[in-house]
Amino acid sequence: MNIDTERQGNVATIRLAGRFDHGTHSQLRDVWRPLVTDVALVEVVLDFGGLDYIDSLSLGRLLVLREEAGKAGKRISLANCRGMVLRALEVATFHRLFTLR
C-alpha cells in the first residue's frame, strides 16, 4: 500500500493506494499516530480513492482509529470511497460511524 499525507490548515489528509489488508495496516498506524496527537489538527481525512481492496481486519483497524480520534477530540472522515471498498464499508454499516465524503 502507498500512503501520502497532506496538511491544509487544521485538516490532514492521508491518501491510500493499493491494498489495505492485514499486512499493510501497520503502515497506516505509523502515519496516523503523529497526526492524531497533533493539537493543531481538528480533522483527519482518509482518502480511499486509490484503494483497490480492503479486508475485514483493516475495517477493524478503522474502528480503532475512530476511537483514537474521538479520544483526541478529532473528527475522522472517509473520502472517495468507491467500488469494492465502498461496498465493504456499506456492508459493515460504516456510513453510520464515519462521515463519508
* Closest alpha carbon to 14 in 64, 71, 80, 70: 80
Contact (Cβ atoms closer than 8 angstroms) between residue 74 and residue 38: no
* pLDDT tens-place string over residues 53-74: 999 999 999 999 999 999 999 9
pLDDT score recorded for residue 51: 96
List the domains of the chain with CATH numbers: 2-100 (3.30.750.24)
* 18 vs 36: CA distance, rounded Å: 23
pLDDT score recorded for residue 22: 86
The pLDDT of residue 23 is above 90: no
* 22 vs 82: CA distance, rounded Å: 20
The pLDDT of residue 26 is above 90: no
> Per 3-state DSSP, what percentage of the chain is helix, strand, and coil (rounded to 5)?
40, 35, 25
C-alpha cell of 3? Answer: 500512503
* pLDDT tens-place string over residues 2-18: 999 999 999 999 999 99
Binned at pLDDT 50, 70 and 90, residue 25 comes out as confident
Q: What is the DSSP letter of 1?
A: -
